[in-house]
Chain A
C-alpha cells in the first residue's frame, strides 16, 4: 500500500480522536508536516512511527483484550501510522492482528511487515502463506528474515518471491545488538530493501557501522526496541525532562526517546509496541514537530547517561 499522508489528513484524524482537545501541545507542535521517510529502494513514503506487536498483541482468544488491542491499532491508523511489524514467533499476535484488521476494515491503511522464523530453509513460502492467512492479506509489503535464522535459504526464496510480485520488500532483522558482524556482511553482499535492528538512546552500537552502511547502501532502517522493551520508561519516567527538551521538539519522555531515534539520518521508522491507547497517542506525538539537531542529540544522550 502507499497511503498519501498529508498534514491536513493528520490534523483531521487528531480532531476525530479528540486528541487535539486533550493534547494542545501536540497541536501546537504539529505546525510542521508529520514526519515521513522515503524507502530508498523504491522512493515510497512511510510514516516515521510504526507499531510493534511483540508481547502486546499475543492475547490468545481473549475477546476483551482483542477489542482493546483493536482500539490501539485504530488509534495508530487514525494518527497516521501504517507500518505494523510482527512475526510467527509472537504467538497469537498474527491472528489477533487479522481479527483487529477485520473489525476496523483497515487493510488499505496497512503497511504489513512480518518475518520468516524457521530453521527449515525450505519452509519460506509455507510460512509466508500461513502468515498471510492469519493477517487476512494477499501479500506482505515486507518480509524479513527473523534474527538471521537460516538466512541464506530464506533470503534466496524471498528475492524470488519479490521478483514474482509475491512480496514487495525484503529485509533481515536482529535485536539487542546481536550478530552485528554477520549482519554487516549480509548488508554488504545482498540486495536488501530493509534492515531491522535495535537502536535507542542507550543502545547505540548501530551508530558505529550498521546505520552508516545502511545509508551508503540505500537500505531502509526499521528500529526495534526503541524503549529498550519498556525499561527506558521504568528507569527514567520519574525523572524530569531537561529544560531544553521543548526546543528539541520533545514534550514527554516517549517523544524524547523516539525523536532521538528518528533524528538519526539513516533511520526510516521506529516501531514502538504498546497495549495502551494513551501510550499510542504519546508515541504518535513523536511524528510531529521539530526533530533534535546533531548538537541536541548528543545533549539528549548525555542527559540520559547522567541520570
Chain B
C-alpha cells in the first residue's frame, strides 16, 4: 500500500488544464471591468507611500496590502480558481485571514520610532516596487498571448503575493515573519502547480515570491525594524 504512493507524480493531482487556468484571468478581467482602475490606483498609492516612508505611510501600505489580500483571496481564489482546484479555496481563506490580520496590525500597532531611510533608498524602493508590479502582470499575457489575461496586483493572487513580500519589510521584525509564511507556502504551491501545468513562463512570479520571502525571513534589514 505504501509503495503505491511512490507511483504518484505531481501531475496525478493536477485536476485541470492550462487553458482553464489562463482563462481564469480573462474571466475575472471581463467580470470586474472597469474596476481594474482601483488596482492600478492601489499600486501607485503603495509606491508613493513607500517613497514617503513615515509611520502614517506604513499604516497606509499595510491597509492597502490587506485590501489586496482580501480582494484576491475572496475573488480570484474562492470564486474562480477554487471550483477547478480545491486547494485554491483553502488558500482563499488564508488570504482573507491574512488581510484581516494585517488590517488589525495596520490600525493598532504602535511604532514608537522608525529608522530614517535616505531619500534615495525610499525613492528607489517605491519606484522599483511600482515597476515590478507593472511588469509582472504581463507574464500571463506572454504565456497566453491574450491581453485580457493581464494578472493585476490585488485582483490576482500570484502578483499580490509577490508584491506583498517587500511591503512586509515596513513591519517590525517581531511580527514580520508571521506575514511572510503565507507568501512562502503560496509560492511553493504555485511553483509546483504552474510547473506541472506546463505554464513555465508564469513560474517566475511564485519563484520570485518564494526567494524574496526566504530572504526576508533570513535577513531582516535592521533599518526596517521597530526600535521602540
Contact = CB atoms under 8 A, between A and B. Distances in A.
A232 interface: no
Contacts of A229: 11
A55 B83 contact: no
A117 to B, nearest CB: 12
Interface stretch (B17-25, B56-64, B138-146, B184-192): B17-25
Contact of A60 (B1, B4, B84): B84
Interface in B1-45: 1, 4, 7, 11-12, 14-17, 19-20, 23-24, 27
Contact of B15 (A58, A65, A176, A178): A58
Contacts of B1: 179
B86 A91 contact: yes
B84 A92 contact: yes
A179 B4 contact: yes
A191 B14 CA distance: 33
A178 B6 CA distance: 10
Given A177-B7, A178-B4, A179-B4, A90 B19 contact: no
Given A55-B14, A177-B7, A178-B7, A60 B19 contact: no
Interface magnitude class on chain B: 10 to 19
- Does more than half of chain A's interface fall in helix, strand or loop, or is it mixed? loop
Contact of A58 (B16, B23, B27, B80): B16
Contacts of A59: 16, 20, 84
A86 B16 CA distance: 14
B85 interface: yes
Contacts of A92: 83-84
30 contacts: A55-B14, A55-B15, A55-B16, A55-B17, A56-B17, A58-B15, A58-B16, A58-B20, A58-B84, A59-B16, A59-B84, A60-B16, A60-B80, A60-B84, A61-B80, A62-B23, A62-B24, A65-B20, A89-B15, A91-B16, A91-B83, A91-B85, A91-B86, A92-B84, A176-B7, A176-B12, A177-B7, A178-B4, A179-B1, A229-B11
Interface of B: 1, 4, 7, 11-12, 14-17, 19-20, 23-24, 27, 80, 83-86
Given A59-B16, A60-B80, A60-B84, 12 more contacts: A58-B16, A60-B83, A62-B20, A62-B23, A62-B27, A65-B23, A89-B15, A91-B15, A91-B83, A92-B84, A177-B7, A178-B4
Interface of A: 54-56, 58-62, 64-65, 89-92, 176-179, 229, 275
